[in-house]
Amino acid sequence: MSFTLYNAPQSTCSQRVRFTLHAKGLEFQENRLDLFSGDQLKPEYLAINPNGVVPALVHDDVPVIDSAVIMEYLEDIHPNVVPMRPKDPKESARMRAMLRFIDEVPAPAIRIPSYNLAFLPHFQAMSAESFQTLCDSKPLRREFLMKMGRSGFPQEDMDEALGRLGRAVTRLNDWLIENGGPWMMGHQLTYADIALMPVIVRMDDINLHEMWADKPMVSDWLAALKAHPAFEATYYHGSLLTEKYPHLQALRDERAQQPAARSA
């Protein structure tokens, strides 16, 4: 039984699947794609995932695509290896409802500040023709990139995205309070935690952690994930935006110094 994961270090969807594989202790070959070089649009990858996005898992020569589908697939074939889906059908349905909210609200919202703060210079360096060609080559992201353009998303889109992320933090906090923590459904780490993890890690990385400054259970939840044995293997160097884009790290350092400066 062999697994090959096609993914990208900084892709939040890829991080979900890497964490799942590591948490279950499943060995896999990792093929890292350079998304800005267009590896995900090459014919050999499109033959695996015609949507031209990451990740894709190839299991015994059969492709499985979409991060949420991959996570549940791994549970289907290894249900007794570190179970991450409740066995009770009602609880499993509740987890899937959480997943639906995560994939509808915070997962797409995090892309807007990520693109504006980190990825935009890549697109600004392109000619108008090259950018249009890139947009047209993206089966799932064409409209998203066209709306962003080469000047970035407008402030109203940023505000909307931040509002959606704020609602997700509130919902996470509500789930933790309702179920008593340390995880979203109580004592069992589930795919709901893993699905939301990359969004909150990304928010923390790009200086949006103040959104849960008054929510200690969210901070504890994030700390528990970072202490999980699968976390370090998932977030190897280069997986965080601040590790690839020095200007983001400089901004983070600057903001970290601001409270000290105000109190001096």
Per-residue pLDDT tens digits for 218-241 = 999 999 999 999 999 999 999 999
Q: 83 in a domain, yes or no? A: no
15 and 96 in a common domain = no
132 and 42 in a common domain = no
119 and 43 in a common domain = no
97 and 26 in a common domain = no
181 and 69 in a common domain = no
Domain end among 77, 109, 131 = 77
122 and 59 in a common domain = no
As a whole number of angstroms, the distance between CA 203 and CA 207 comes to: 6
Range of the domain at 38: 3-77
DSSP states of the chain: --EEEEE-TT-HHHHHHHHHHHHTT---EEEE--GGGTGGGSHHHHTT-TT--S-EEEETTEEEESHHHHHHHHHHH-TTSS--S-SSHHHHHHHHHHHHHHHHTHHHHTHHHHIIIIIHHHHHTS-HHHHHHHHHT-TTTHHHHHHHTTT---HHHHHHHHHHHHHHHHHHHHHHHHHTSSBTTBSS--HHHHHHHHHHHHHHHTT-GGGGTT-HHHHHHHHHHHHSHHHHHHT-TTSSHHHH-HHHHHHHHHHHHHHHHHH-
Output the pLDDT for position 122: 81
54 and 151 in a common domain = no
Output the pLDDT for position 262: 44
Cβ count near 223 (within 10 Å): 10
- The band of 118, judged by pLDDT with boundaries at 50, 70 and 90, is confident
* Least trusted range by pLDDT, from 86-90, 128-132, 185-189, 224-228: 128-132
Whether residue 69 is predicted with pLDDT greater than 70 in this model: the reply is: yes
Whether residue 261 is predicted with pLDDT greater than 60 in this model: the reply is: no
Q: 82 in a domain, yes or no? A: no
Output the pLDDT for position 259: 57
Whether residue 22 is predicted with pLDDT greater than 70 in this model: the reply is: yes
132 and 257 in a common domain = yes
CB 225 within 8 A of CB 231: yes
107 and 71 in a common domain = no
Domain end among 48, 77, 106 = 77
* Mean pLDDT taken over the chain: 93
- The band of 18, judged by pLDDT with boundaries at 50, 70 and 90, is very high
235 and 110 in a common domain = yes
C-alpha torsion angle, residues 46, 243, 197, 74 (rounded to 10): 40
214 and 139 in a common domain = yes
Residue-wise pLDDT for 85-95, tens only, equals 999 999 999 99
112 and 10 in a common domain = no
Q: What is the CATH number of the domain that holds 13?
A: 3.40.30.10
Residue type, 20: T
Residue-wise pLDDT for 147-171, tens only, equals 898 889 999 999 999 999 999 999 9
Number of compact structural domains in the chain: 2
Per the DSSP assignment, residues forming a β-bridge with 6 are 31, 56
As a whole number of angstroms, the distance between CA 84 and CA 187 comes to: 11
More confident site: 264 or 146 = 146
Residue-wise pLDDT for 193-206, tens only, equals 999 999 999 999 99
